[in-house]
Amino acid sequence: MITTLRRLRLAVTLVIAVFLVGTIGYLSFGLTLVEAMYQTVTTISTVGFREIGEFSTAEQLFTMVIIVTGVGTALYTFTLGVQVVVEGQLGDLVGRRRMDKRIAHMRDHVVVCGWGRVGRAVADDLARSGKVVVVVDSDSERLRQLEHPTVIGDATLDATLRAAGIEHASALVAALTGDAENLFVTLSGRSINPGLFIVARAREEESVPKLARAGADRVVNPQELGAARMASFIVRPHIAEFVDVVMHERSLEFRMQEFEVTDDSPIAGKSLREADLRQRANVLVLALRHVDGTFSTNPDPDTVIEPKQVIIAVGIGDDLSRLEEVSS
């Protein structure tokens, strides 16, 4: 589709160029502007009207050149136009422009680069969590009938990422097939939006530190994670299944969630005992993540809750909503 539309744009540009050259040429032969434009249009369109006045040999030769170039270009443009309409590409173009405008107004969305198995799984899980996702892939067929906003193009190019609204996104997922491509996406995303949270896919172990140095906040090797999960089902089957249900299947109301404590939170500066989150929100605090990135698991009741800390808790939906209210 994109190739045909580009050819159509080029063909229209050539028709305009032939029209301008013809008009300027006839002006140089002494015709007025209107006469020059009229003569050029009638020549290109092959309507068969007579020439304006008697043409000299030079004018006749010039007209033959315009006929050969102009008629061929006009017919080629007409053919492409019919092809675009017949194949439904005109509707796709209109839809594409609407989608581009929609993406341009998005804020705090997640850009997922690569619509393979990993990209699909990530996008589906993000959508179930209420996140708005924009998918980037170079294969237009993959993105047909997709419910998410899409951008067709090479994700390693800055222009493609900008078209996906990377400047206003909250996160970027680099899930392309090759580690080199994910490295380019990570570098581009970090340079365009320094505050972006980037998760990159790595196939090779040696790529993990490279992607981290390129700016990825988290680097994930799906093969290693899958292997660890398979082993967990053998060693700790009930725990593994419970975590899967809580984190992914959503078949229980019981959820695990994280909340960042704001500076003006009513629980900031209080100990866990004083905050009494069990009574206040009926949740169980599993861990605290401190500002320096370290974790306190099963924290002591006398642990002081500080601003910018992250509370990791489990509970049901309404209880977690109450915890979000008191932590923010």
Question: How large is the average pLDDT for residues 17-30?
Answer: 88
Q: Which of 110-114, 124-128, 187-191, 282-286 has the lowest mean pLDDT?
A: 282-286
What pLDDT, in 10s, does the model give residues 266-305?
888 888 888 888 777 788 888 899 888 888 888 888 888 9
- Residue 203, token pair as written in the block: 């196939």
Q: Higher pLDDT residue, 16 or 78?
A: 16
CATH 3.30.70.1450 correct for 253-327: yes
Average pLDDT over the chain, rounded to an integer: 85
One-character DSSP codes across 214-254: HT-SEEE-HHHHHHHHHHHHHHSHHHHHHHHIIIII--SS-
| Four-way CATH pick for 2-87: 1.10.287.70, 3.90.1150.10, 3.40.605.10, 3.40.50.970 | 1.10.287.70
pLDDT exceeds cutoff 70 at 150: yes
pLDDT band at 122 (very low <50, low <70, confident <90, very high): very high
Question: How large is the average pLDDT for residues 302-309?
Answer: 90
Distance CA 135, CA 143 (A): 8
Return the CATH superfamily for domain 106-220: NAD(P)-binding Rossmann-like Domain (3.40.50.720)
Contacts of 156 (CB under 8 A, 6+ apart): 181, 184, 185, 188
Predicted local distance difference test score (pLDDT) of residue 248: 62
Domains in the chain: boundaries: 2-87, 106-220, 253-327
pLDDT band at 165 (very low <50, low <70, confident <90, very high): very high
Distance CA 14, CA 77 (A): 9
pLDDT band at 4 (very low <50, low <70, confident <90, very high): low
Q: Higher pLDDT residue, 212 or 63?
A: 212
Predicted local distance difference test score (pLDDT) of residue 222: 87
Parallel, antiparallel or unpaired: strands 310-315 and 255-260: antiparallel
Return the residue matching tokens 């700790």.
236
- Ranges assigned E (strand) in the chain: 110-113, 133-137, 150-152, 171-174, 197-201, 218-220, 255-260, 284-289, 295-297, 310-315
Query: What is the model's pTM?
Result: 0.63
Predicted local distance difference test score (pLDDT) of residue 5: 67
Torsion of CA 146, 245, 204, 185, to 10 degrees: 40
pLDDT exceeds cutoff 90 at 59: no
Helices (H) and strands (E) in the chain, counts: 14, 10
Mark out the alpha helices in 112-263 (DSSP H runs). Answer: 117-128, 158-163, 179-192, 207-214, 222-235, 237-244
Predicted local distance difference test score (pLDDT) of residue 252: 56
Residues in the chain: 328
Q: Higher pLDDT residue, 314 or 118?
A: 118
Contact indicator for 123, 135 with CB cutoff of 8 Å: yes
> Which of 88-92, 130-134, 222-226 has the largest mean confidence?
130-134
What pLDDT, in 10s, does the model give residues 99-120?
888 898 999 999 999 999 999 9
pLDDT exceeds cutoff 70 at 225: yes
Helix (H) or strand (E) holding 65: helix 57-66
Predicted local distance difference test score (pLDDT) of residue 175: 95
pLDDT band at 70 (very low <50, low <70, confident <90, very high): confident
Helix (H) or strand (E) holding 273: helix 272-275
Predicted local distance difference test score (pLDDT) of residue 48: 61
Distance CA 36, CA 59 (A): 12
Predicted local distance difference test score (pLDDT) of residue 76: 81
Nearest to 144 by CA among 85, 178, 96: 96
Q: How many CB atoms lie within 10 A of CB 111?
A: 29
pLDDT exceeds cutoff 60 at 20: yes
- Residue 132, token pair as written in the block: 């708005």
Q: Could you tell me the CA-to-CA distances from 240 to 229, 244, 248, 286 in Å, in that order?
A: 7, 6, 12, 17
Predicted local distance difference test score (pLDDT) of residue 184: 95
Predicted local distance difference test score (pLDDT) of residue 84: 66
Contacts of 315 (CB under 8 A, 6+ apart): 254, 255, 257, 281, 282, 283, 284, 323
pLDDT band at 49 (very low <50, low <70, confident <90, very high): low
pLDDT exceeds cutoff 90 at 259: no
